[in-house]
A and B are shown apart, each in its own frame.
Chain A
Amino acid sequence: MQKSSYELRTPLTIEEIKRLRAGDRVRISGTIYTARDASHKRLLASLRKRSLPIPIKDQVLYYTGPTPARPGRVIGSCGPTTSSRMDPYTIPLLKRGLRGMIGKGERSQGIIEAIKRYKAIYFVATGGAGALLAQSIKEAEVVAYPDLGPEAIYRLEVEDFPAIVAVDSLGRNLFERGNQ
């Protein structure tokens, strides 16, 4: 099947992601936020206290924990971590309007259904290509939970960050067709 390529700019609207299909290649530009295991746990606690440190509606979360930046560099290596570890935390964020997620690997059936229900999208970036992916990151700043070190939330400004749609807003899952 012929797959399309799209250039996306964050924040992402429902209208924008509706046209994307599992398997499409995208280049993402704009602001995205990093979050992984410990920061997700904190985000949910903050959500309960109604004091989220970052905007969520129409935003994109990138599951990663970068290496420290060398002097004069924006960031270190910054590739995706396993997304399924974030599954237990994801639905409350989708309910709040989280639009996109970038990670690696499959999601649970429950998350795929929630992605469909809340009209969101899940992208995968190449696991193990952290040095390459760092080249698309133009700015980085810790914006929440600095005590978590590599697990802190960073605001990243990315340009042409390469990813593939793995679960689209209709709940179609690239990995289900991957084994052919």
Chain B
Amino acid sequence: MRRIERNRIRDLVAQLCIQANYQLPEEVTQALKKAKRRESSRVAREVLDQLIENAQIAREGIYPLCQDTGIVEIFLEIGEDVKFKMQKAKGKIQSLEEAIQEGVRKGYRKGYLRKSIVNPLDRKNTKDNTPAITHTRIVKGNGLKITVFIKGFGSENVSATKMLLPSNGKEGIVDFVLRKVQEAGASPCPPIVVGVGIGGTLEKSSLLAKEALLRPLGRPHPKKEIRDLERELLKKINGLGIGPSGLGGRITSLAVHVETFPTHIAGLPVAVNINCCALRYATGIV
């Protein structure tokens, strides 16, 4: 049994929130540079230049990559041999969940990040960007892996899940994904990254689509059937011509990632989770 202290978790979450908001992952910067090499229109190249320069400015640590510093999603992989040592705070022993939320609070304060979270009906701001959404998986071993994913809402607003039927098949999936990307147009800040979740249930397909976004950018799926679908979707999405900033061009999407899960004989759930050109995540291991 390994013991991990609460403050370590809090501090790591805070650090990852700041890192993700200021440092665009190297593979995303590379994908933007590659997109620029493939674009021929002047306006598309100008937009990509701005995005590349934006990432350089943000890296200096004064201005976050985007003013939409997102809703925070935290993916935890907790080893089954880990025991959390929770110190008392305000006379109460705090839970792992509370340590994580405190980390988000700290990161958003120290990182000068925008607090964008409101209660859904009265629209009152919670003023510290919490609560973050947590997804936990228990895995073998005594490690703890924390991934912070910053999700902006220009792209979340144009994402969707649909309960297709078995008769819709692969063709129905391709049609649905293309329709959603076409409808999204310029709103999600293209060039976008497209996560597709196929199978499971309503919420499982959505979660698969989100997890698909977190696969290292452009790394193809190990299964050929899925890899081929990813390629087909990418080609067709780029064929839409939406282009960087929606101003026309060859590169509408930097990558399409598909994840699947077995589903019921009666159904074919599909989720499309769109991400903007700033795919922001950071991972830490305790």
Do residues B189 and A70 form an inter-chain contact, with CB atoms below 8 A?
A: no
Do residues A150 and B241 form an inter-chain contact, with CB atoms below 8 A?
A: no
Do residues B246 and A132 form an inter-chain contact, with CB atoms below 8 A?
A: no
Do residues B246 and A175 form an inter-chain contact, with CB atoms below 8 A?
A: yes
In the complex, whether B238 has a CB less than 8 A from a CB of chain A is no
Closest to A85 in B: B157
Give the segment of A9-17, A46-54, A75-83, A91-99 that binds chain B: A75-83
In the complex, whether B54 has a CB less than 8 A from a CB of chain A is yes
When distances are taken between beta carbons in the complex, the residues of chain B under 8 Å from A124 are: 186, 245, 247
When distances are taken between beta carbons in the complex, the residues of chain B under 8 Å from A127 are: 154, 186, 189, 245, 276-277
Contact check: which of B63, B127, B189, B246 meets A131 at CB < 8 Å? B63
Contact check: which of B54, B123, B157, B242 meets A129 at CB < 8 Å? B54
When distances are taken between beta carbons in the complex, the residues of chain B under 8 Å from A175 are: 185-186, 246-247
Mostly, the B contact residues are loop
Do residues B65 and A150 form an inter-chain contact, with CB atoms below 8 A?
A: no
Interface bin, chain A: 35 or more
A16-39 near B? 1/0 per residue, CB < 8 Å: 000000010000000000000010
> How close is B24's CB to chain A, nearest CB, in angstroms?
10
Mostly, the A contact residues are loop
> How close is B79's CB to chain A, nearest CB, in angstroms?
35
> How close is B151's CB to chain A, nearest CB, in angstroms?
14
Given A70-B62, A128-B277, A129-B50, A84-B187 contact (CB < 8 Å): yes
| Cα–Cα distance between A60 and B69 once the two chains are bound (Å) | 25
Do residues B154 and A179 form an inter-chain contact, with CB atoms below 8 A?
A: no
Given A66-B67, A67-B67, A76-B50 contact (CB < 8 Å): no
Given A81-B68, A131-B54, A178-B242 contact (CB < 8 Å): yes
Do residues B64 and A178 form an inter-chain contact, with CB atoms below 8 A?
A: no
Do residues B67 and A78 form an inter-chain contact, with CB atoms below 8 A?
A: yes
Given A78-B67, A131-B58, A178-B248, A67-B112 contact (CB < 8 Å): yes
Given A131-B57, A149-B115, A76-B187 contact (CB < 8 Å): no
Do residues A66 and B112 form an inter-chain contact, with CB atoms below 8 A?
A: no
12 pairs, CB–CB < 8 Å, chain A vs chain B: A70-B112, A77-B66, A104-B186, A105-B185, A105-B187, A124-B245, A126-B47, A126-B51, A127-B277, A130-B65, A130-B67, A164-B43
A-side residues, CB < 8 A to B, are 23, 38, 64-70, 73, 76-79, 81-82, 84, 104-106, 124, 126-132, 134-135, 148-150, 162, 164, 174-175, 177-180
B-side residues, CB < 8 A to A, are 43, 47, 50-51, 53-54, 57-58, 62-69, 112-116, 123, 125, 127, 154, 157, 185-187, 189, 240-243, 245-248, 276-278
